[in-house]
């Protein structure tokens, strides 16, 4: 009998100790970086005619994109391609209304942000024309300078460099490109009627700063100017 009572007491002690143990605390998961937003409107390489007309000079456009994973807010960047100036606006939603100049080419992108991490994710960059009154034919978008980038210092291989750019237009009617290149901030016409989006083996001198730009020509006689870029040769 005493052995039976002893067993019951021992069992109770074990149960009390088991109940007194704290369950392990689950560690919060590691925060994940925000994903890349998917742009939806204005569409890539399009003429945006869906806007609220404010005047002959201005209209407002609602930018839209798809929500990205793990993002708390978004920073939208809008670049006037004629002046190469970019302004930014922040929102926690997936659309934002902004007032822009009409008959003007723009580029836009979205940066996804998270409160938990400093990491960000940048969307693709899309170009569009904010339509103007009576506009039917649009000039090509100003060429995007790829390489050398603005104010980049480069090494000349064999005393030469390659220049690379990217052209685009709404109607896909680009005819050719003119390259202006030189050592002053008013470079002369260096090569005309280029059908590629690069110029290879351009002779350069070490320790010299160079200036260049691309004029894009389309089949209807419209042109656009990339703006002036500089680079230095080691």
pLDDT of residue 26: 42
In Å, how far are 1, 14, 18, 22, 51 from 11, measured between CA atoms? 16, 5, 11, 19, 78
Minimum mean pLDDT range among 28-32, 47-51, 108-112, 119-123: 28-32
Q: What is the pLDDT of residue 70?
A: 96
For residue range 159-207, list pLDDT tens digits in order.
999 999 999 999 889 999 999 999 999 999 999 999 999 999 999 999 9
Largest CA distance in the chain: 112
Domains of the chain: 38-130 (2.60.40.10), 141-233 (2.60.40.1220)
Do residues 100 and 153 make contact, with C-beta atoms less than 8 angstroms apart? no
Phi-psi region of 207 (alpha: psi -120 to 50; beta: other; left: phi over 0): left
Cis peptide before 148 (omega within 30 of 0): yes
pLDDT in tens, 67-80: 999 999 999 999 99
Tell me, letter by letter, the H, E, C secondary structure of 107-151. Answer: EEEEEEECCCCCCEEECCCEEEEECCCCCCCCCCEEEEEEECCCC
Tokens 């005047």 belong to 55
The owner of tokens 């742009």 is 39
Q: Which whole number is the average pLDDT over 88-110?
A: 97
* Residue 215 neighbours by CB distance under 10 Å: 19
Please provide the distance, in angstroms rounded to a whole number, between the alpha carbons at the two ends of the chain: 98
What's the pLDDT tens digit per position in 103-143? 999 999 999 999 999 999 999 999 999 998 886 789 999 99
The yes-or-no verdict on residue 14 having pLDDT over 60 is no
22 CA to centre of own chain: 50
């Amino acid at each position: 009998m005493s052995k039976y009572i002893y067993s019951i007491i021992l069992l109770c002690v074990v149960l009390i100790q088991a109940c007194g143990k704290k369950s392990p605390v689950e560690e919060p998961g590691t925060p994940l970086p925000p994903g890349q937003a998917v742009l939806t409107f204005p569409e890539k390489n399009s003429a945006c005619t869906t806007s609220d007309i404010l005047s002959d000079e201005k209209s407002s456009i609602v930018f839209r994109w798809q929500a990205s994973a793990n993002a708390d807010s978004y920073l939208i960047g809008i670049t006037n391609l004629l002046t190469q100036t970019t302004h930014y606006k922040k929102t926690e939603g997936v659309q934002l209304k902004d007032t822009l100049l009409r008959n003007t080419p723009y580029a836009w992108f979205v940066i996804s942000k998270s409160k938990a991490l400093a990491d960000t994710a940048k969307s693709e960059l899309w170009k569009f024309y904010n339509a103007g009154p009576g506009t039917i034919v649009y000039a090509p978008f100003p060429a995007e300078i790829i390489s050398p980038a603005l104010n980049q210092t480069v090494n000349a291989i064999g005393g030469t460099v390659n220049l690379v750019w990217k052209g685009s237009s709404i109607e896909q009617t680009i005819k050719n490109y003119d390259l202006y290149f030189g050592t002053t901030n008013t470079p002369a016409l260096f090569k005309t009627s280029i059908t590629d989006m690069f110029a290879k083996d351009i002779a350069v001198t070490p320790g010299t700063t160079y200036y260049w730009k691309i004029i894009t020509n389309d089949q209807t006689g419209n042109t656009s100017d990339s703006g002036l870029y500089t680079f230095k040769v080691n």
